[in-house]
Amino acid sequence: AAKRSGQHKVMQFNSAQPEKTRRWLELAGQMATALQQRQYFLVYQPRIALHDGQVAGFEVLVRWQTPQGLISPGEFIPVAEETGFILELGRWILDQAIAQLASWQREQLAVGRLAINLSTRQLSDAGLQAFLLQSCARHGVDPAQLELEVTETVAMENLDWALPVLQQLRTLGLQIALDDFGTGYSSLAYLQQLPVSVLKIDLAFVRNLDREEGRAVVHTIITLARTLGCSTVAEGVETTAQRDWLLANGCHEMQGFLEARPMPADAVAGYLQAKAQG
Ligand code: C2E
Ligand code: MG
Ligand code: MG
Ligand code: MG
């Protein structure tokens, strides 16, 4: 039913923006078969504790390899959300990531926690918690090793039903992070209600750290996080100047090309080894 309504939307879209619609239809039409054909894979980007430079965990990011080339999640995730396919893809991502974490733990690799992005649509999936618990149990992973990233606006616009879901996930031991923090318009009153333990500072703010106003904004976010009892992760850290400022100003973790680009699972052991050897 979700798929049908998604396709209905395309028809309305069609007359207004034919160009975008052709691409949309192409992606929407191919994404389910792509799962059967194993065209999706996960990449992992390390999150580094700023105070000691150690790996605190990894963020899981999905990729779609088509015969014609790689498609970025920025392009296909919104389509998957609109068609409803994100429910199926999202479960595959969760299970795949949990299986990978279990495998790393068996190899005794110190990968830390895995942070998995969750779309709004998945939060409204009534079977989400049961699925997560089953997957963790099957692979032998402690849910406390997982963090779910939800966007600020997602949680805010759907607070009535999102709040109990987030609270239940929290009760199961999972950490909740607010992704792209600062790009929405959350009030303090609203934020205080959320069972969130991590704020991820959007890379747009990190990029502005070379300007005085940019630094003031990030400083405010870090202060706000402290008030809420949350830790902070800076996204998109690309320079040592950004890293040094973040460390000096109380940000907890960083993620970005300065440390490493997202890497395939089989590169993680080598990355950790090279890091340990300095
Ligand atoms: P996000 O969750 O905010 O992920 C951070 C994005 O920043 C990733 O892009 C990552 O590759 C990129 N990035 C990391 N470090 C740097 C840096 O130093 N500089 C720059 N310029 N970029 C950096 P990616 O992988 O293309 O993902 C884009 C978005 O797609 C994600 O934003 C997330 O919203 C969504 N997404 C990705 N994977 C998944 C997934 O498995 N499920 C869901 N629902 N959404 C996903
Ligand atoms: Mg994220
Ligand atoms: Mg983000
Ligand atoms: Mg983002």
Judged by phi (left if over 0) then psi (alpha if -120 to 50, else beta), residue 55 lies in: beta
What is the per-residue pLDDT across 207-261, written as a single tens digit (0 to 9) for each? Answer: 999 999 999 999 999 999 999 999 999 999 999 999 999 999 999 999 999 999 9
* pLDDT tens string 32-64: 999 999 999 999 999 999 999 999 999 999 999
Looking at the CA of 255, which ligand is closest? 1
Q: How far apart are CA 214 and CA 222, in angstroms?
A: 13
**Which whole number is the average pLDDT over 64-90?**
96
Which ligand 1 atom sits closest to the C-alpha of 73? 30
Q: Is the CB of 259 under 6 A from ligand 1?
A: no
CB-ligand 1 contact for 238 (6 Å cutoff): yes
Identify the pLDDT of residue 15. Answer: 52
Looking at residue 185, its pLDDT comes to: 74
Give the whole-angstrom CA distance, residue 268 versus residue 278.
Answer: 15
Is 236 a pocket residue for ligand 1 (Cβ < 6 Å)? Answer: yes
CA of 72 to the centre of ligand 3 (A): 14
pLDDT of 146 > 80? The answer is yes
Mean pLDDT over the full length of the chain:
91
Closest atom of ligand 1 relative to the 238 alpha carbon: 18
pLDDT at residue 30, rounded to an integer: 97
Beta-carbon contacts of residue 148 (< 8 Å; ≥ 6 apart): 115, 116, 117, 118, 169, 174, 175, 176, 177
pLDDT at 244: 98
Question: Which residue shows structure tokens 């998995």?
Answer: 116
pLDDT in tens, 158-183: 788 889 999 999 999 999 999 999 88
Evaluate if pTM is beyond 0.90: yes
Decide: residue 164, CB within 10 A, 0-12 exposed, 13-18 middle, 19+ buried.
Answer: exposed
CA-nearest residue for atom 42, ligand 1, is: 117
- Give per-residue pLDDT as tens, 88-97: 999 999 999 9
57 Rama sector, left if φ>0, alpha if ψ -120 to 50, beta otherwise: left
User: With a 6 A CB cut-off, is 73 part of the ligand 1 pocket?
Assistant: yes
Ligand 1: which of 122, 235, 254 to mutate, most ligand atoms within 8 Å of CB?
Answer: 235
Tokens 């990449």 correspond to: 43
Whole-number Å distance, alpha carbon 202 to ligand 2 midpoint, is: 9
- Per DSSP, the residues of 41-72 read EEEEEEEEETTT--EEEEEEEEEEEETTEEE-
Please tell me what DSSP assigns to residue 239. S
pLDDT-based confidence at residue 3 (cuts at 50, 70, 90): very low
